[in-house]
């Protein structure tokens, strides 16, 4: 039986639930109006649609005019039941197995009986604005299925990409819209085949932020939702986790901590990474909107709320998510206004991050420096396995013409990021910023996108990349990750471990020891590791030994005489109830952990950002044909003999692992001269790599 515990009094309150009775709208009349408006909206031009979304669908709603609206206190009584949450909650990492991805279809809202755009606030009621003056109006909303709408096409492609790898859950606002969406998907040539509809009115399509934060609890690994409070300007979206949980028969734990899903990054083992934006949203007095229809004229106002201290916010989140560690870093200044962590970082594995890398041209920017500082904070933390987290870097996307942004304000008009994607089992729904069917700058930076995708495929081994051009979202502060929400799988088999990035056999011996955490409600039957060397074609297998407390250990024997080689491996775990999962989940399609090892291996270069010319295919003979460096020690220049039939790439790093310089050695080069004039006196390693195979040579500089 799951135990419960009491949280802090300020953390959880009863939630205001809007019901259809408040609106008192004639449903038959509304349905007819919606049918007529749908036909009008289908004829909108792309310019008109872009204008609507720019005004109404920014990721962070505009609350600047909230002070002009009436207010009432949000203080409510708190029952004992409201304060109870399971004590054994497990919040999975996003790359764990999922059963579905939740999205909300985009809608177009107008003032009833007019063509005026309106902000959807409650079912049938919204706001139109003139400057800072808001007027409450009756509204009509229809799903966006216009043939000219990039947003409709994007969601159609998104739904189809998801359903290939898991069930797609789609929230629509009205029953009849399910037929409209299915017909639209048919028209795209991608009919819905693996889907589930939910029918609840909403405000926007930013499902990551309003969406439920799903977790496991209890002896049977039941799934429940943690429902934080969403932005106050979108009260119907705020209610969706409660309503969807009710549809599913799942529990939903609601609280009044303002917190958006795009700012939640967990490792699956009790650690959370987030930004200071969570403090800022809980320090103001603006709460959820309310609707008052008791008078002759409907009114929309907002609840006021008490501000919380940083410590109160941290204590509440730590309790509500059953966390061991919380790391809060400063929010970026130019990310569309949300301050969310998903605009530059994510985790596909429990021991490390993938994060954006700003180019040298932008390195002096405040946000570029802040990203580096934040990554330093992340990697200074100790993970569940007792090691520091590590990080792989991916480049920042450019503008359509391949140029960089002139300043932070300029970047704010784009807010492009490769890491703002969504994991769906063995696939990644990936935002891209190009379209080869177009020409000129409309096509985007095609070559830059393709090079960056090669970098991403190295960072996320074996994943199928479902590409979606998201340039319609430029400046919105979000992309694919922001409009999707993972729903974890039933009967989870969890596998977590600390992968080795490189292994020196001279210092550490010729045996690589693995420690794996694996867990299932029925218990684990076997944990196995399949492995091979880069120089081998066939796979070997070992069965790990239980060390108690869900830990399993084993050893892989390596060639003690190898100067350099590469180990490929993956883990599989089978539960007592017969379910098998691999880690990475992409093992069946070439996704393996990669570990360079040998007597000469002293680092693993994982800073792939901007090294987009790396190619796969350098063979072992090429690497073994690289001579020692001479003269060594060197002062200004040093020479190395190579025997490369392909282009070869190198990096010079100091003993801290910091890259000092690098370059390409063109194929069929006999001798290559290293210019080391700018290196200070000290010891260095020259790393030659293709991303899979690597070798290193020692270099000493004396000035």
CA angle 360, 363, 368 (to 5 degrees): 135
What is the per-residue pLDDT for 64?
A: 52
Angle at 268 between CA 248 and CA 215, to 5 degrees: 15
Alpha-carbon distance 554 to 547, whole Å? Answer: 10
CA dihedral 679, 685, 686, 689 (to 10 degrees): -140
144 pLDDT higher than 60? yes
Q: Rounded to an integer, what distance in angstroms lies between the CA atom of residue 250 and that of residue 518?
A: 25
Given a cut of 80, whether residue 62 has pLDDT beyond it is no
Mean of all residue pLDDT scores within the chain: 88
* CATH number among 2.60.40.10, 3.50.50.60, 3.40.630.30, 3.60.40.10, domain 494-598: 2.60.40.10
Q: Does the fold of domain 620-701 match that of domain 4-488?
A: no
Query: How far is the CA of 464 from the CAs of 217, 445, 460, 569, in angstroms?
Result: 31, 22, 9, 19
CA–CA separation, 573 and 493 (whole Å): 7
pLDDT in tens, 308-347: 999 999 999 999 999 999 999 999 999 999 999 999 999 9
Q: Under 8 Å CB-to-CB from 41, ≥6 apart: which residues?
A: 108, 142, 144, 146
Instruction: Give me the pLDDT at residue 14, please.
Output: 33
Please say if the pLDDT value at position 470 is more than 50. yes
The alpha carbon dihedral of 573, 575, 576, 579 has a sign of: negative
Span 493-518, average pLDDT: 92
Over residues 258-316, the pLDDT tens digits come to 999 999 999 999 999 999 999 999 998 888 999 998 888 888 988 888 899 999 999 99
CA-based diameter of the chain, in Å?
91
- Residue 427's pLDDT band, with cuts at 50, 70 and 90, is very high
- 């996704």: which residue's tokens? 591
Residues with Cβ within 8 Å of residue 32, at least 6 apart in sequence: none
- Per residue in 91-127, pLDDT tens? 999 999 999 999 999 999 999 989 999 999 999 999 9
pLDDT class for 171, splitting at 50, 70, 90?
very high
Looking at the predicted structure, is the pLDDT value of residue 546 above 80? yes
Please state the separation of Cα 675 from the chain's center in Å. Answer: 40
Residue 35 has pLDDT above 90, yes or no: yes
pLDDT band at residue 483 using 50, 70 and 90 as cut-offs = very high
pTM above 0.75, yes or no: yes
- 234 contacts 123 by C-beta, under 8 angstroms: no
Q: Spell 510-529 as b/e; 16+ CB within 10 A means b.
A: bebebebbbbbbeebeebbb
Lowest mean pLDDT among 42-56, 74-88, 175-189, 323-337: 74-88
Stretch 205-222: mean pLDDT: 97
d(CA 447, CA 439): 13
Q: How far apart, in Å, are the Cα atoms of 327 and each of 276, 336, 385, 481?
A: 10, 22, 17, 21
pLDDT of residue 6: 43
Q: What is the topology classification, in CATH, of domain 620-701?
A: Immunoglobulin-like (2.60.40)
Specify the pLDDT at position 451.
Answer: 82
Residue 449 tokens, joined: 């996108």
Q: What is the pLDDT of residue 563?
A: 82
Helical segments of 116-232, H only: 150-163, 177-187, 207-210
pLDDT at 656 over 60: no
Pairing of strands 265-266, 659-665: unpaired
Class of domain 4-488: alpha beta
* Mean pLDDT along residues 406-435: 96
User: Strand pairing partners for 516?
Assistant: 497, 552
Band (459; pLDDT cuts 50, 70, 90): confident
- C-beta of residue 27 within 8 angstroms of C-beta of residue 124: no
Q: How far apart are CA 626 and CA 696, in angstroms?
A: 9
- Structure confidence at residue 66 as a pLDDT band (50, 70, 90): low
Check whether 16 has a pLDDT greater than 50.
no
Q: What is the pLDDT of residues 569-588, one digit of tens each?
A: 999 999 999 999 999 999 99
Instruction: Give burial (CB, 10 Å; 0-12/13-18/19+) of 175.
Output: exposed
Domain ranges of the chain: 4-488, 494-598, 620-701
689 vs 394: which has the higher pLDDT: 394
Q: How confident is the model at residue 151 (pLDDT cuts 50, 70, 90)?
A: very high
Residue spans of alpha helices (H) in 118-166: 150-163
Residue 643: per-residue pLDDT: 75
Q: What is the pLDDT of residue 29?
A: 78
Q: What is the pLDDT of residue 49?
A: 96
Residue 247 has a pLDDT of 98
Report the distance separating Cα 412 and Cα 475, nearest Å.
6
Query: Are the beta carbons of 660 and 652 closer than 8 angstroms?
Result: yes
* Contact between residue 289 and residue 344 where contact means Cβ atoms under 8 Å apart: no
* DSSP symbol at 369: H
DSSP state of 391: E
| Contact of 395 with 452, CB cutoff 8 Å | yes
Q: Where residue 83 falls among pLDDT bands split at 50, 70, 90? A: low
Question: Reduced to 3 states, what is the DSSP secondary structure of residue 54?
Answer: helix
Nearest CA-CA partner of 103 in 286, 257, 261: 261
Would you place residue 485 in the very low, low, confident or very high pLDDT band (cuts 50, 70, 90)? very high
Cα-trace Rg, the chain: 27
């Amino acid at each position: 039986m799951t135990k419960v515990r009491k949280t802090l009094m300020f953390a959880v309150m009863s939630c205001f639930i809007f019901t259809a009775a408040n609106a008192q709208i004639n449903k038959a009349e509304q349905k007819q109006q919606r049918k007529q408006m749908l036909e009008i909206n289908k004829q909108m031009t792309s310019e008109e649609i872009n204008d609507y979304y720019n005004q109404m669908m920014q990721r962070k709603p505009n609350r600047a005019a909230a002070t002009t609206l009436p207010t009432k206190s949000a203080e409510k009584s708190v029952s004992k039941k409201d304060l109870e949450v399971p004590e054994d909650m497990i919040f999975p990492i996003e790359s764990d197995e999922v059963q579905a991805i939740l999205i909300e279809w985009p809608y177009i809202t107008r003032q009833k009986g007019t063509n005026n755009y309106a902000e959807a606030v409650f079912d049938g009621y919204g706001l139109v604005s003139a400057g800072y003056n808001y007027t409450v109006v009756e509204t009509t909303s229809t799903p966006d299925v216009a043939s000219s709408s990039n947003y409709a096409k994007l969601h159609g492609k998104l739904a189809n990409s998801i359903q290939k790898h898991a069930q797609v859950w789609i929230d629509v606002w009205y029953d009849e819209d399910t037929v409209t969406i299915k017909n639209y998907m048919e028209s795209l040539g991608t009919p819905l085949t693996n889907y589930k509809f939910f029918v609840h009115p909403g405000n926007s399509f930013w499902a990551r932020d309003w969406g439920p934060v799903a977790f496991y609890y209890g002896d049977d690994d039941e799934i429940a939702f943690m429902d934080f409070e969403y932005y106050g300007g979108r009260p119907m979206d705020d209610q969706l986790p409660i309503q969807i949980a009710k549809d599913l028969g799942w529990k939903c734990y609601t609280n009044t901590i303002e917190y958006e899903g795009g700012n939640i990054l967990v490792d699956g083992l009790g650690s959370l990474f987030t930004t200071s934006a969570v403090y800022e949203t809980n320090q103001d007095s603006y709460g959820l909107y309310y609707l008052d229809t008791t008078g002759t004229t409907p009114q929309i106002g907002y609840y006021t709320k008490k501000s919380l201290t940083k410590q109160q916010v941290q204590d509440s989140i730590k309790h509500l998510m059953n966390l061991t560690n919380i790391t809060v870093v400063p929010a970026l200044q130019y990310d569309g206004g949300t301050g969310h962590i998903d605009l530059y970082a994510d985790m596909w594995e429990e021991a490390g991050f993938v994060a954006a890398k700003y180019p040298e041209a932008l390195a002096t920017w405040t946000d570029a420096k802040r990203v580096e500082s934040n990554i330093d904070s992340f990697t200074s933390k100790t993970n569940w396995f007792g090691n520091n987290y590590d990080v792989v870097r991916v480049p920042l996307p450019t503008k359509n013409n391949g140029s960089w942004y002139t300043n932070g304000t300029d970047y704010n008009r784009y807010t492009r990021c490769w890491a703002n994607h969504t994991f769906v089992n063995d696939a990644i729904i990936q935002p891209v910023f190009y379209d080869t069917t177009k020409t000129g700058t409309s096509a985007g930076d095609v070559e830059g996108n393709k090079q960056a995708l090669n970098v991403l495929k190295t960072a996320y081994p074996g994943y199928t990349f479902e590409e979606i051009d998201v340039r319609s979202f430029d400046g919105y502060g979000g992309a694919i990750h922001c409009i999707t929400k993972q729903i974890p799988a039933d009967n989870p088999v969890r596998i977590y471990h600390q992968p080795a990035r490189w292994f020196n056999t001279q210092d550490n011996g010729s045996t690589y020891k693995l420690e794996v955490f694996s867990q299932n409600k029925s218990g684990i039957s076997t944990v196995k590791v399949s492995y091979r060397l880069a120089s081998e074609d066939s796979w070997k297998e070992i069965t790990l030994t239980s060390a108690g407390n869900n830990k399993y250990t084993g050893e892989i024997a390596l060639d003690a005489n190898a100067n350099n080689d590469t180990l490929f491996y993956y883990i599989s775990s089978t539960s007592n109830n017969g379910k098998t999962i691999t880690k990475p989940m992409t093992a069946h399609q070439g996704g393996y952990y990669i570990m360079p090892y040998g007597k000469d291996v002293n680092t693993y270069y994982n800073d792939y950002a901007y090294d987009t010319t790396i190619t796969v295919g350098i063979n072992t003979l090429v690497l073994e044909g690289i001579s020692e460096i001479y003269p060594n020690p060197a002062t200004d220049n040093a020479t190395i003999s190579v025997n490369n039939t392909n282009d070869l790439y190198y990096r010079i790093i100091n003993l801290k692992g910091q890259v000092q310089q690098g370059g390409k050695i063109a194929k069929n080069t006999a001798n290559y001269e290293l210019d080391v004039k700018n290196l200070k006196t000290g010891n260095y390693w020259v790393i030659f790599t293709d991303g899979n195979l690597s070798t290193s040579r020692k270099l000493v500089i004396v000035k």
